[in-house]
Chain A
């Protein structure tokens, strides 16, 4: 090792605290890159391989009842490589040890051989015997949540006939990586599962002999989903086709895509912030080192070291800092990456998901870290290289202070001398002061954007559960029924109130913009489930108008008074022209709402019911559950208090983790900036402070100058941080908003206060550490040394 490198290592060891403070900020950037890029790639690769190996279909369609003879026509559609028909259905389950009814989606398995598409991967046991009607294979998550093993039994209400089924095996499927039951907001594997049964058994149960109600397609290399979907729709229309869709609207796939989008955003937005701040810190510290080491630079030049060698010396220092940060970041990234993968396996049902350390993401992160640190060092390295060798001979020149406007202002304001010194320190290095302020403001902003989250979610819970969906349960009917079903429900035990809802799958269209969703039609006096605006006022569709959620209106580019087309995907597949009569504030899904009677009139049919919303007497819950399990025609139940509780629990856990991560990050940034700038000021002002102490200033008075400057910058950073935080949070709201969710923008005063408190404490903490050094300042030594 060369002597200069040895010097470098010793310098590094001497400044370890400063080096570590910078390295940790850099490590945050590296961690997030490794984590986000790694998780994203792992997810993508896993998904690709899984989809490929288990033949995940590309186009999906539901139909009421289509004859098997249609299959050759479907196969003959241009662009179709493979087509497979199935029978699927919703069933209510009566599980041992579970009072309330559970639900499931049954999917048929072909009579001979494996499915050609959406091949389930068997984890345990075997598929059901094609000739048996009482055997079932269930999804792994459902089995695990309920403690089922092959051989266990449970009861299912198959199209009105209650039957005891024996589990023969458990499986996974690319179709059901993320499983949400109807009306659910989060996966609930205890109460919702996927059931695979032989086609023959299901055909008999659902009266679909020689027919199918679901078809999946794989496309040829040239085949385009956009072209195949309308052709398939035309074929299925006469049989009650409910509109085909591609992967982009496949429920499970959409959720994974959403997660990927967030990971990509995370990898793009956050790391640059950290790299920028660490570049700035490296810049600040190296500038100081170069000024302190002018003599060494001059000496190196006098000894005949080239400009490149001199610049290289300081660049190397920056590289070493970067390497420390990179190594820490790699470690943290791998560790958190494994945690993330574990989290994914909780939410997503993958056969395997390993957080594969990707050489690529590690290399990218390292390159970015080195680049940031290198760029931060560049200015100082160049300045060092440009120093004339003759300065080796000369003593260092004192820094130039100028009287400026700020001094006159300060004098005018009657500031004390120490305060004047604080002010001058700030204006002497305006760039440095500005960046310190910005970096600490970024810390405040990050905290705000993390701490606004729970408030926003509280607001969601408030609106979704206490203003809009106030029913205790939703009874989902297997098919639309006439109004008398509401009366039947009212006679079930413990029902206090029951209100009908008609859900109609439709495509809403305005010009070229369109969205597929279920339009909900309610009665005007509905009390249990209703729609409200941002202020919490109920919004009622006027006449035969339609109310859209704000997001849907935005997606379709329409507002109140505009007209939109509603293409109904069931029945006679009519297209209605409706006026948008208002907008509502909906956080889950896109929503569209009509008056039930008005819709019935438009369809020239009596009013229909698809869901009955009920309020129930908790004391009679068990009796109601038992009845629900045995009620034919029920496809499932959603207990909203349970949804709310699981939403709270899941979100609460996530929020806790996120908040902790952000607090750590903000503290690292603040300490990195505050500690380094305080150390630099101390080094620049050691003499000045020692002189003050010598002429009789107390320790507190001398420290005030240094801490005063730091805290002045920290305080200045707060309003800037609030503005930045507001923008960050708003950007999050925007980027988070998808067809699935939206976040309300909620900024409580407490969010500002909490964020500022953390950053101010962290800077005060840094100041106090440096203050201890002022207290120990060796007056004699400081005055004796040159510089």
Chain B
């Protein structure tokens, strides 16, 4: 088997607010492989977002170690983490997080302007089927369209990994499927390693690998022998 693109050993995360400390991660050992489409499932508060944030270099672990290929994320300085995010990671957020005062194309350009080897913003938008709405502002787009702009923005830098936190969380089933199709196409066309957090158990059918989370730990990892097409998924 290939070398994992993400690997973690005994990863822990403790949030301290006042005298209360919340153990979000209680020792996570995980390996994810290049080119795979992974789905992260688990109850609310089980630590999925926390893990994704650490893998994406948005947050730091309290204990344990994590690697991206052979770079140790848990040993990086803030500056190195910034570089890592800039060069390797694409994010898709539940609430799209588009800049309201920028058009779709400009939101994508936000990334292409600083990336090392970006694809043209128009191409990224075309990949998610938005070639007709490039000059629209977020307020003029539907939720699904906005999320697809966010995906175009995430893939425009040709990231090694695409990390998505509940990308369909705010969308209805039909729009959600469009978004999943966009993600799937990118995973298969560009070979981008993709991690998707979801509360929608149905989505696991399209993954190579499904990770079940419970109470800050991995409860189970399952590999799918065959994958469903996004259009077959409903919720």
Residues of A bordering B, CB below 8 Å: 2-4, 6-7, 10-11, 14, 295-296, 298-307, 388-390, 392-393, 395, 786
Contact = CB atoms under 8 A, between A and B. Distances in A.
B154 to A, nearest CB: 9
Q: Which of B89, B106, B153 has the most CB of A within 10 A?
A: B106
B97 A392 contact: yes
Nearest to B85: A304
B110 A393 contact: no
Contacts of B84: 304
Contacts of B86: 303-305
A305 B115 CA distance: 10
B174 to A, nearest CB: 21
A395 B165 CA distance: 13
A3 B101 CA distance: 10
A393 B82 contact: no
Contacts, number: 80
B93 A393 contact: yes
Interface residues of B, number: 33
A7 B93 CA distance: 21
B82 A301 contact: yes
Given A302-B58, A393-B49, A2 B99 contact: no
A393 B53 CA distance: 8
B99 A393 contact: no
B59 A389 contact: yes
A304 B87 contact: yes
A41 to B, nearest CB: 43
A633 B113 CA distance: 90
Contact of B102 (A7, A298, A302, A395): A7
B85 A389 contact: yes
Nearest to B91: A302
Given A7-B101, A302-B56, A388-B59, 17 more contacts: A299-B97, A301-B82, A302-B58, A302-B85, A303-B91, A303-B114, A304-B85, A306-B79, A307-B78, A307-B82, A388-B58, A390-B59, A392-B91, A392-B93, A393-B49, A393-B93, A393-B165
B74 to A, nearest CB: 15
A302 B91 CA distance: 7
Contacts of B101: 7, 10-11, 14
Contacts of A786: 95
Contacts of A302: 56, 58, 85, 89, 91
B195 interface: no
Interface string B29-65: 0000000000000000000010001001111000000
A2 B102 contact: no
A7 B82 CA distance: 22
A303 B99 contact: no
Contacts of B94: 393
A392 B82 contact: no
Given A14-B101, A304-B87, A306-B82, A389 B110 contact: no
Given A7-B102, A303-B85, A298 B109 contact: no
Nearest to A6: B106
A301 B79 CA distance: 11
Contacts of B106: 3, 6-7
Given A393-B49, A393-B165, A303 B58 contact: no
Contacts of B58: 301-302, 388-390, 392-393
B30 to A, nearest CB: 19
A305 B99 CA distance: 14
A535 B220 CA distance: 97
Nearest to A391: B58
A395 B95 contact: yes
A307 B79 CA distance: 9
A302 B101 CA distance: 18
A494 to B, nearest CB: 81
B222 interface: no
28 contacts: A2-B113, A3-B102, A7-B99, A7-B102, A295-B95, A295-B97, A299-B97, A299-B99, A302-B56, A302-B89, A303-B85, A303-B91, A303-B110, A303-B114, A303-B153, A304-B82, A304-B85, A304-B87, A305-B82, A307-B78, A388-B59, A389-B57, A389-B85, A392-B58, A392-B93, A393-B58, A393-B94, A786-B95
A303 B59 contact: no
B146 to A, nearest CB: 13
B83 interface: yes
Nearest to B107: A3
Nearest to B98: A299
Contacts of A3: 102, 106-107, 109-110, 113
Contacts of A301: 58, 82, 85
